[in-house]
Chains A and B, each alone.
Chain A
Amino acid sequence: EAGVTQFPSHSVIEKGQTVTLRCDPISGHDNLYWYRRVMGKEIKFLLHFVKESKQDESGMPNNRFLAERTGGTYSTLKVQPAELEDSGVYFCASSPSVTGELFFGEGSRLTVL
């Protein structure tokens, strides 16, 4: 069974550019989460989808971040325009239920120059 996959594994962009990160959850998992870890900080929750609906987006840092999950399958996280402080590793996780075990992907490393 395929795990959570994330693309790209590493992205290097310049300040002001746009980047879109993609996450494919484990098949059948309705719950999808985005987390991120910026340099030297703890892993922080960004948002939670249940199917295609945003259940909780309290962790989204500002309106430069847009997450979507069309059709309740894969999800994208767009950063536009990217700032230097957005550099870090963005993790996606999925779960079969709201309170079930989370399965994490390997992360997408974003470097903003």
Chain B
Amino acid sequence: DAKTTQPPSMDCAEGRAANLPCNHSTISGNEYVYWYRQIHSQGPQYIIHGLKNNETNEMASLIITEDRKSSTLILPHATLRDTAVYYCIVRAQRMDSSYKLIFGSGTRLLVRP
């Protein structure tokens, strides 16, 4: 079962920042926060992951609270092509019971023109 809670849907205007929240209050010390997205019916695409420090790459930024119980994925300048379902997943970085990617229902982000 997914160990995260996300809003079912969100929208934002093109060119504006999209901030997608995720709650993971039961995250354990060895689990990372991963974000994937699925554009239409394509295969899921990796976005970013982090443990406790904020992370940034060419696609997005990940802000993790100090207690690690929640995080926010930030798409700084959303485009129409960012319309997708975004999945927040907690996952261990070692071979134990939670190393697999377990997808929840995600957040459907609609970027409006």
Residues of A within 8 A of B (CB): 4, 33, 35, 42-45, 48, 56, 89, 91, 93, 98-99, 101-107, 109
Task: For B45, list chain A residues within 8 Å (CB).
Answer: 104
* Residues of the A chain whose Cβ atoms lie less than 8 Å from the Cβ of B105: 42
The residue on A at minimum CB distance from B34 is A101
Bound-complex Cα distance A35 to B99 (A): 15
Bitwise, B35-76 to A at CB < 8 A (1) or not (0) is 000100111111001000000000000000000000000000
Q: Quick check: B44 and A104 within 8 Å, CB to CB?
A: yes
A42 — which chain B residues lie within 8 A by C-beta?
2, 103-105
Q: Does any Cβ of A come within 8 Å of B91's Cβ?
A: yes
Chain B residues with Cβ below 8 Å from A105 are 43
Contacts of B94 in A (CB 8 A): 99
Q: Tell me how far the C-beta of B112 lies from the nearest C-beta in chain A, rounded to whole angstroms.
A: 25
Q: Determine how close the nearest CB of chain A comes to the CB of B65; give it in whole angstroms.
A: 23
B44 touches A99 (CB 8 A): no
Smallest distance from the beta carbon of A90 to chain B beta carbons, Å? 10
Total of A-B residue pairs, C-beta within 8 Å: 46
With contact pairs A42-B105, A99-B91 given, residues A107 and B43 touching in the complex (Cβ less than 8 Å): yes
Please report whether the interface of chain B is mostly helix, strand, loop or mixed according to DSSP.
Answer: loop
B46 and A99 form a contact (CB under 8 A) = no
B residues less than 8 Å from A56 (CB atoms):
100
B93 within 8 A of A: yes
Please, how many angstroms separate the alpha-carbon atoms of A89 and B92 in the complex? Answer: 26
Contact B92 A104 (CB under 8 A): no
A106 with B43: in contact, given A45-B100, A98-B99, A99-B99 (CB under 8 Å)?
yes
Closest beta carbon of chain A to B73's beta carbon, Å: 16
Contact B41 A99, beta carbon cutoff 8 Å: no
Inter-chain contact A106/B42, CB cutoff 8 Å: yes
Q: In the docked arrangement, what's the CA distance between A33 and B43, Å?
A: 13
Q: List 16 A-B contacts (CB under 8 A).
A: A4-B43, A43-B38, A44-B103, A45-B102, A56-B100, A89-B41, A91-B43, A98-B95, A99-B91, A99-B93, A99-B94, A99-B95, A101-B46, A104-B44, A106-B43, A107-B41
